[in-house]
Amino acid sequence: MVTFVALRRLLDSSKLRFAAAALFLVAFLVVPYTREQALAIVPLREEPSPTAQPVDPFPSDYVGKYDHGHQMINDPYPDYETAQWKSISKAPYEACRGPHGGLLSRKDEDLMMSGYPRNTSNFPTPIFGSYEAWGLNQSLCADRYSRYGAYGFLQGNDSTRIQNWNDTFGSDQAAEIDWEGVDWSNLQDDCLQRNRKRYRMTETSGGRLVALYKSLDSDSQNSPMPVNGTGNIAQSRTAVVLRSWIGMKYTKNDLYHIRSMIMELSLFSGGEYEVILLIDCQDEELPAEKDSAAWEVFRQKHLPQELRGLAMFFNTKMLGDWYPDIDIHVAILQYFQPTQIFSQLHPQYDYVWQFEMDSRYTGHMYDLLHRATDFAKGQPRKYLWERNSHFYIPTVHGRWEEFIQKVDREMSGHDSVWGPVPVEGLNVEGNASMPPVAHPDDEPGTWGVGEEADLITWLPHFNPVDTEWPFRDRVFNFPQDQETPRWAAVVAMSRISSKLLGLLHKDKVQSGVGLASEMSPISWALYYGLKAVQIPHPIYHDFHWDPVELNLCANPGEPGKVNAGKDSIWSWGQRDDIILNSTFMFNSKFAEKLYRAWLGYDGAEEVSFYRPFFRNCNCIDYVQWETRNPPLCLPPIFLHPVKNLEPVKTKDF
């Protein structure tokens, strides 16, 4: 998508923009598929330009009131000592060692994320989604100190002391940690071993693979090892895969972000999650599988010390070794190939969350993923695909339960996705999930409730065939070619079950079939009748919108075909006024603008003095604002993309 965005921003004329977009689409149609990898369409590989870019105006609407005198620990974890939790766990929770060398405590003000009680009434309302619909905690906001202070965030006098303005919260313990020397891989392994009786373990659990070699394939078929005890079901484990690339320059902010994910998801949960860095080396030759000395040199060359044990590498040749019958391996078109292979080699993970390196979350990561998983598990299958195609707007659709009922009523008499959708070239027998009745109108809305989702995404799902979404025609080796049924879900960050990844892998090996990246997991869920859920997370906007007008723009189309036509919001250039100014999208500008203001970067060309927060401040930029006021404190917001992470902005996307 980055290539398209760059092209649009080079052109001011609407006619030129239209012509350029048309030429680009023609190029995609006429270039033979066998030459895909020669196309210069792989994003995220460019080095930043040394020329500083103009800064964005300070987003003054996002200065909310909060109680900066009452900082508190943000603790979203269950109470592991209660009888209720112990009744559903195979074994007790064991505290894990932290980067300071001692056992972690959830009462530790220095090593737990913290926040401030916030006043939600004077903060902008999300244009899409909500906190209430899926129980996401919005009672606390976080500034950059309370978000990253526990993970080595340095500011001012090289101190990580939490900035709460009255010097009563935390100490300098985090500042004394040698963060660059922390072995995160070892800490995660140790944490798992302490809690191993809680989980379904395999012979590869805790093992470390350096790269996705095809020669390891025969070693990955390990059945789960029995766990002592005969009581409750062993808890599932989830891999959190961060997708990086060779040559990436890891900023300090990248490191704070990665540390926060490891601490919040893995170490404080007792190994429920494990964070892995999966690195795309493209066409670069990699060391021999058993040449440990060469691999050590390679890791030292490309990674900071603290990340080396987390890394797993792959290149184009490896992907070709695994999938010889499809000659498309470039990331923008086959982003999930390495994820599929990773899952094959790591059967100990029941699910894989995949994140891109240019995403950020201002809340607590455990709360985000735990709430998303629980919400998806609770969703009924009846008219699920049709609900997933909407941007949820509470002021128009009502509470989530009312939205479910609204879609149910609208879908009566319309065709619905109900059970597996037949497709030529795949044999789904024995793996498909069949509905309990022939028609959704005859089902009370209980099927699927309590069922784990095989796919969880952060944006709506849609049928791209009749849209002008640029990747709609990227169909590889299916007998029906452009008649192949398919759906899409943009932004390739999602949770995918090992079952779904296994089916993607099996069909690519056996049939050599494929679809563009953002059509792959969702379409395989379609073919096999698996449960896929969109999370209605809060998405904010740089401008005010009338909700009714917004609904007409963001959710066009008749029931069952929302966003499935030419006027789809996903048609290229159709609704840039919405897409470019949202906090979560494939090419938003506002996500980075808000995050940089939160970090204390960038001056302001204009400041809204009419807001009460600025009446007593002759501020011309955000830095001056912070000399007299607390830093910007944001509620939990999932931001994407955020690419400029240095104090001086060097690249405009």
Q: Which amino acid is at 384?
A: L
Instruction: Cite the beta strand spans of 449-552 per DSSP E.
Output: 455-457, 475-476, 494-497, 514-515, 532-534
pLDDT band at 233 (very low <50, low <70, confident <90, very high): confident
Please state which of the ranges 29-33, 219-223, 302-306, 506-510 shows the lowest mean pLDDT. 29-33
Q: What is the model's pLDDT at position 57?
A: 59
Percent of the chain clearing pLDDT 90 (strictly above)? 73
DSSP sequence for 218-252? GG---PPBP-S-SSSPPBP-EEEEEEEETT----H
Q: What gap in Å lies between CA 638 and CA 263, rounded to an integer?
A: 18
Please state which of the ranges 6-20, 175-189, 492-506, 615-629 shows the lowest mean pLDDT. 6-20
Task: Taking residues 30-54, report their average pLDDT.
Answer: 34
pLDDT band at 600 (very low <50, low <70, confident <90, very high): confident
pLDDT band at 367 (very low <50, low <70, confident <90, very high): very high
* pLDDT of 504 strictly over 80: yes
Contact assessment for residue 522 and residue 461, using Cβ atoms and an 8 Å cutoff:
yes
Contact assessment for residue 353 and residue 241, using Cβ atoms and an 8 Å cutoff:
yes
- Angstrom CA distances, 550 to 126, 396, 467, 545, 594, stand at 12, 9, 19, 6, 21
- pTM summary value: 0.87
Q: What gap in Å lies between CA 635 and CA 117, rounded to an integer?
A: 10
Please state which of the ranges 14-18, 139-143, 553-557, 637-641 shows the lowest mean pLDDT. 14-18
Task: Taking residues 373-386, report their average pLDDT.
Answer: 98
End-to-end CA distance of the chain: 11
Q: What are the φ/ψ torsions at residue 12 (nearest 5 degrees)?
A: -95, -30
Contact assessment for residue 478 and residue 426, using Cβ atoms and an 8 Å cutoff:
no
Contact assessment for residue 259 and residue 96, using Cβ atoms and an 8 Å cutoff:
no
Task: Taking residues 186-209, report their average pLDDT.
Answer: 86
User: Measured in whole angstroms, how far is the alpha carbon of residue 139 from the centre of its chain?
Assistant: 22
pLDDT band at 26 (very low <50, low <70, confident <90, very high): very low
DSSP assigned state of 586: S
Q: What is the model's pLDDT at position 190?
A: 97
Q: What is the model's pLDDT at position 303?
A: 97
Q: What gap in Å lies between CA 133 and CA 118, rounded to an integer?
A: 19
Nearest to 432 by CA among 446, 444, 442, 422: 422
DSSP sequence for 77-92? S--TTSHHHHHH-SS-
Those residues with Cβ within 8 angstroms of residue 112's Cβ, 6 or more apart along the chain or in another chain = 73, 74, 75, 106, 150, 268
Nearest to 343 by CA among 335, 352, 354: 352
Q: What is the model's pLDDT at position 294?
A: 97
Q: What is the model's pLDDT at position 575?
A: 94
pLDDT band at 632 (very low <50, low <70, confident <90, very high): confident
pLDDT band at 77 (very low <50, low <70, confident <90, very high): very high
Task: Taking residues 56-74, report their average pLDDT.
Answer: 71
* pLDDT of 40 strictly over 70: no
CA angle 136, 410, 457 (to 5 degrees): 35
* pLDDT of 81 strictly over 50: yes
- pLDDT tens digits for 576-594? 999 999 999 999 999 999 9
- pLDDT tens digits for 121-149? 778 899 999 999 999 999 999 999 999 99
User: Looking up tokens 């009446």, which residue turns up?
Assistant: 615
* pLDDT of 20 strictly over 60: no
Nearest to 309 by CA among 266, 351, 270, 253: 266
User: Measured in whole angstroms, how far is the alpha carbon of residue 482 from the centre of its chain?
Assistant: 29
Task: Taking residues 165-184, report their average pLDDT.
Answer: 78
Q: What is the model's pLDDT at position 423?
A: 97
Q: What is the model's pLDDT at position 628?
A: 67
- pLDDT tens digits for 604-619? 333 232 233 333 444 5
Q: What is the model's pLDDT at position 51?
A: 43
DSSP assigned state of 329: -
- pLDDT tens digits for 324-347? 999 999 999 999 999 999 999 999
* pLDDT of 350 strictly over 50: yes
Mean pLDDT estimate for the chain: 85
Q: What is the model's pLDDT at position 45?
A: 28
Q: What is the model's pLDDT at position 206?
A: 55
Please state which of the ranges 72-86, 202-216, 431-445, 453-467 shows the lowest mean pLDDT. 202-216
Task: Taking residues 39-51, report their average pLDDT.
Answer: 32
Q: What is the model's pLDDT at position 615?
A: 36
Percent of the chain clearing pLDDT 70 (strictly above)? 79
DSSP assigned state of 630: P
Contact assessment for residue 496 and residue 341, using Cβ atoms and an 8 Å cutoff:
no
Q: Which amino acid is at 590?
A: F
